[in-house]
Structures are given as C-alpha cells and as structure tokens.
Structure 1
Amino acid sequence: MDDRDWQILHLLHSQKNITKTAQLLFLTQPALTKRLMQIEAEFGVKIVNRGIKGVHFTPEGELLAKRAGQLLTTIREIKEEVSNLQQSVAGTLRLGVSNFFAKYKLPTLLKLFNEQYPLVDFQVETGLSRDVLHKVYNRDVHIGFVRGEYSWPDQKKLLFVEKVLLVSKTEMDLAQLPDLPRVDYETDQMFKALVDNWWAENYTKPPLISMKVDRGDTCKEMVRSGLGYAILPSMFVSDAPNLYKRELLTSENTPVLRNTWMFYHEESLEKNVVKAFVQFMEGIDFEDSEAISGS
C-alpha cells in the first residue's frame, strides 16, 4: 500500500462511484478497478460491492476507508509541520469557499497572494456557506469564506457587506409584488431566512415562485430575459446596469444586508502559510471592487 492506494479508498468512500473517483484521480476506470482488486488481495478481504446505485463498502472496507482518512490527514499534517520548521511561506493552503466568493473574488486574490508567495499551492473546496462552515470547523480546511451570519466561536474577519436588492427587467410596484412571478435560486438557508423574514414583514400572501434555478447567475439571466423578478445580493448584479434594482429595507427603514466573513482557528496561525494569508487578507480593501474582481 502506498499513499495513492489510501487516497483511492478515501475518495471512493466519499464518492461511492468508480467512474467519478477515477476521473478525480486522473485514472482510467479499468486502472482504478485493477488497483482496487490488488488492495483487496493484499488484505485478503472484499472491500466493496457494486450495485445499481454505486459501490457499497463492506465492514472491512469501511474500516480501511476510515483508516485511510486518518492516515492521509496525518501525512498532510507532517508535511505542513516540516514545511513550517523551515520558516518559509510554502506548502499547501487549504481553503473552503462559498460558490459566489469562489467565482467573483477568489481567483484574483489567489493570483495576488501567489505573486508574493510563489512556493504556496492551493487546495480549494467550494460549496454553500453552511458546508464551508462545517469544513473549517472540522479543520478540513485552514480558512473558510462564508456568507451570512453563522455562529463561529473562533477567529473571524468581516470582509465586505452587500445590500440585498429586488431586481427586475423594468421598474416594479412593491405593492404588486405578491402577484408577480419570482425567480428563485438554490442558496443557503441563512440567505433564504433573511429574504423570508423581509417578506413576512411586508406581505401576508406568499410569493408567486414561477421558477427555481440552481445558481444566482442563472437566476439573473432569467430576470434579464423578463421571466420574473428576483431578490439577489448586490454583487450578483453589479455587472448588470440595465436591470432595475431596488434596495430591500427593514421595518426600521434600514437596508437589508448580507455580510461575508473569513473564519479560521487561532491555532492555525502557527502555520506560516496560514498566518501569511490571513495577514494578506487583512490588507485587502474590498471596497476597491475593480481590483478584486480582476476587471
């Protein structure tokens, strides 16, 4: 068994699919299957059974997959500690990033950081903010970028604040909103609750959801085509000057806002690469949207 074999077990256990695991490891499916059979022969046990819905790990396979995850974590930590002893900013920086931040902010940030610290590699995992929060809490990543007011017990930094907007192709009368078609998109529960609370403060009728799409960008394009209005964070439509936008206001007549945070554990600053990145982020002015967007 080598590192690659343990990685195969760990990834296959998370994906439950031979084809997808092979793609992620840049292997052919037959090559992965052959290697899996060799691992089974080495331990003398059946590790997985194949079914219509993917692979299912045997009890022995579950144990090996669990140990694989533990071993890979230990190897990663050893490499980070050795790199840290060299007093250089080098190694792999593991980031958990919300989908929006990953698309609109992260590429330029990583480019700027890499120009200062060319020996740093990046491992980036994207997802909804609640998933990112889970990853940083469990130390699967060094730093998490999260949108919304999630509870976090350790170190955090507010990066920027967005207004929440009503967006449509043409000007709209707020009084008629419950009877007009709305385009919704898949988002985290925190933002959904923010919008639902605003709606409950202003209307007794539920919204008329005419369409639900998977992403905010898709939602914006549906609005651009005149298929309904949407409620979106302001940065989603910063590049859409021809759309009608109206700030949502609370019952106290203040803007409804959405914050974006950087979360991390204090102890992770003992790693040179994490400390350097946190210091780098503290020097970023997110008000300078042109510089951060890379436009």
Structure 2
Amino acid sequence: MIAVTGAAGQLGHQVINHLLLQGVPAGQIVAVDLESAKAAAMATLGVDVRFADYDQPETLRPAFAGADKVLLVSAPTGPDATRTRQHQAVIDAAIESGVGLLAYTSVTHAPTNTMGLAPVHRVTEQAIAASGLPAAILRNGWYAENHTAALRNAINSGTLVGSAGNGRMAAASRADLAEAAAIILTRDDQAGKVYDLTGDTAWTLSELAAEAAAQSGTPLTYTDLPAEQYRQVLQQAGLPEPVVELIVDADVAISHGTLDYITSDLSTLLGRPTTPMSSNVASALQA
C-alpha cells in the first residue's frame, strides 16, 4: 500500500489522483490527513482514508499500518521548530510501522538554497538520513501557481505586483510535481534517489504579466516594489502573516537568482516537457 500524508492538500490530493490514473488500485492507496469533508470525499473513490495529525504522533502509526511506501508532504507554513517536530513524528511513525520507502517533498537545491523555508527542509533531509529509512527525496521547485493565482486580481487592477525584480524562476506546475511523485511512488528502485524537480525554463514576473495580458486581451504590467511595501500590500489583502512572509521572502530570493536553477529531473520522470508557463497562465485565467 502507498500512504500519502496531507492528502486533502493542494499537492496531496493530486498525487492520489495520479496514482489512480497510473492504475494503482484505490484500495491500495491510503489518504492520510486531518478529518475534513475533502478527505472524506476520497473514500467515495475507494481510497482508504485514515485521519491523523502531525501534532498527535499517536495517530500516525495506525495511519501507516500496512503501508509499504509513505509520501511525507511537508507540513504547511509555520515556525521551523514546529514543522521540524511534525516531520520527525512522521519519520518515527514510518520506522515503527516498518515502511519500506519514505518519500519526502523537500525544496529545490536544498543544500545551498537561501530561502527562509529551506532550513527546515535541510534539517528534515538530515533527520531522514539519520533514521536509516530507505528514502527518496523530492526537491520540489517553486510552484507556478504561487504566482499565477494572483493573475485574475492583477488583470482587474492592471498591474501585477511583487519584489522579484528581473529574477527568473524555473517554476513547475503543481500537477507536474504531483505526477512525478506518483511515478516515484510506483517504482521499486527509488531508495537513495534525490530529485531536483524544476520546470524546463525560467521566467520573470514581467514575462508572466505579458503572457497574461496577451491571453486575456487586457493590458497588464509588472510593478516591482520594495520588500516592505510588497509586504504591506499582502497584509492589506488579508493574507495570514506566515504566508505574507513566505511570499515576500520568496520574491526577494527570486530577485537574487535563487530559483533560476534548472534540471531535467522532472521532465525525465514525466517522459515529456514540463508544463510551460503559458499553459499555467491559461489554467489560471480559466479557473
């Protein structure tokens, strides 16, 4: 059986969908998440839904019972100490449950990545290595949706704002990264593998705005803001403070070239080119 944590999240539920598309029997898939309507809905597909909480370690071992492989989808934004503790709870439960492979969604170029979200991933990778568990590390690149999600509002206002300057990002669609995770989970030779999963090309926010303008027929330009001013814009939009900090930090990192790192790992796994930025824009505008 294959267990996927964070199964009701934006990445986890797509991983489960791709496992089903690849022919994994629904009864051999375990969806692990907090109790919610979205998680429960997976049961209608025949998926084995098990409720568990990263903050309640005693719930994790029963959730992994009988699982040969576990995908640890990294915990949502929060203090590093909290997320590290949550990840360690999953690692411990995987050991106790006799899991044969632990796959972990880390961050691209983890050893040298300077983003604020990178340290917790480095610590988790080290904890997995120290555990002795057979493991595969999926160093996911920046999700294209992190920026395309803002396009509809940007078109309404005529400007896309950010603090990324002319920095380029080799972002990948969440769907591509979920499909890659499903492929890895269905292969038998993944212990010890480390993948840096990025898009095939890197683009700027100015290029993103130009593509959205071309597709929508509405003028749209990118306006680069100082980090503090961009932070205020996001706060005024009502975003939670941890999310604000994540977005601003990421844009500043992009401006420094942190996410222009490109590998062929993702396209090789998929057996095709990664989804281009233009398609991600089309999906965002049609949503």
More strand by share: 1
Mark the structure with the bigger radius of gyration: 1
TM-score, normalised with respect to structure 2: 0.26
TM-score, normalised with respect to structure 1: 0.26
